[in-house]
């Protein structure tokens, strides 16, 4: 199964659980459950390396549980969902922000109390207009990560190449010193030293350009 489809399905299930939660008896323990989720996230980040998916699940559950237990679309904490959409596009694949937005809108409409005013519906539909920005930020983040990795790999390859070449020149200098007989060996030492200096200068130029 495609990783994006898998993540999308998991996020939809996560969002549905966050909307169902206020309808269950567990809602009376909402603060304790939210605190437990924070503790789990903190412990896993402290002692392990949690996957981005796990971070996204916990982050989504916490924010939507806070919103849905404090009034839903009329919650004073509704603005937190904007941070959720942008963070999901950066943590997971950018397209997941679209799935998250659509799922949130659908579930908000399903669980919306009857006879709500237009002012209650506006924040919900406003989520749709934020999705393109979240998608754009996610794609730009991926481009920057790819470019960063390319620069790091280039620096490693350049450093390795220069190290090998410089090592070869140093070996030549050592041989010339060990077999020093006169001007010929001295010329070889000068030539190798000059090559090392040029390589170091080129390496500095590449490093400065990459930074």
Summarised one tens digit per residue, pLDDT across range 164-190 is: 666 666 666 666 655 655 555 556 666
pLDDT at site 14: 92
pLDDT at site 15: 92
Whole-number Å distance between alpha carbons of 95 and 35 = 29
Specify the pTM.
Answer: 0.66
DSSP 8-state assignment for residue 28: G
Q: Which residue in 95, 20, 27, 96 sits closest to 57, CA to CA? A: 96
pLDDT, tens only, 44-88:
877 777 678 888 898 899 999 999 888 888 888 888 888 888 888
The neighbour count for residue 163, using CB atoms within 10 Å, is 12
pLDDT at site 13: 92
Residue 23 has pLDDT above 70, yes or no: yes
pLDDT, tens only, 90-136:
888 888 888 888 888 888 888 877 666 666 777 888 888 877 777 77
From the number of C-beta atoms within 10 Å of its C-beta (0-12, 13-18, 19+), residue 67 rates as buried
pLDDT at site 17: 92
More confident residue, 211 or 82: 82
CB 67 within 8 A of CB 80: yes
pLDDT at site 16: 92
pLDDT at site 115: 64
pLDDT, tens only, 147-169:
676 666 666 666 666 666 666 66
Question: What is the pLDDT averaged over residues 195-211?
Answer: 62
**C-alpha of 144 from chain center:** 10
């Amino acid at each position: 199964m495609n990783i994006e489809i898998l993540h999308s399905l998991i996020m939809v299930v996560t969002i549905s659980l966050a909307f169902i939660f206020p309808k269950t008896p567990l809602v009376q323990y909402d603060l304790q459950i939210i605190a437990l989720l924070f503790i789990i996230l903190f412990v896993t980040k402290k002692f392990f390396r949690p996957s981005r998916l796990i971070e996204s699940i916990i982050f989504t559950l916490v924010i939507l549980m806070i919103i849905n237990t404090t009034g839903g679309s009329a919650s004073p904490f509704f603005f937190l969902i904007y941070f959720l959409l942008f963070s999901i596009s950066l943590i997971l694949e950018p397209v997941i922000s679209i799935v998250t937005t659509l799922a949130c809108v659908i579930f908000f409409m399903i669980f919306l109390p009857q006879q709500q005013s237009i002012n209650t519906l506006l924040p919900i539909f406003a989520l749709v207009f934020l999705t393109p920005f979240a998608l754009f930020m996610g794609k730009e983040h991926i481009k920057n990560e790819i470019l960063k990795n390319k620069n790091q790999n280039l620096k490693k390859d350049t450093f390795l190449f220069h190290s090998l070449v410089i090592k070869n020149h140093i070996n030549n200098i050592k041989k010339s010193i060990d077999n020093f007989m006169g001007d010929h060996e001295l010329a070889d030492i000068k030539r190798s030293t000059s090559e090392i200096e040029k390589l170091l200068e080129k390496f500095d130029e590449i490093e400065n350009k990459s930074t």
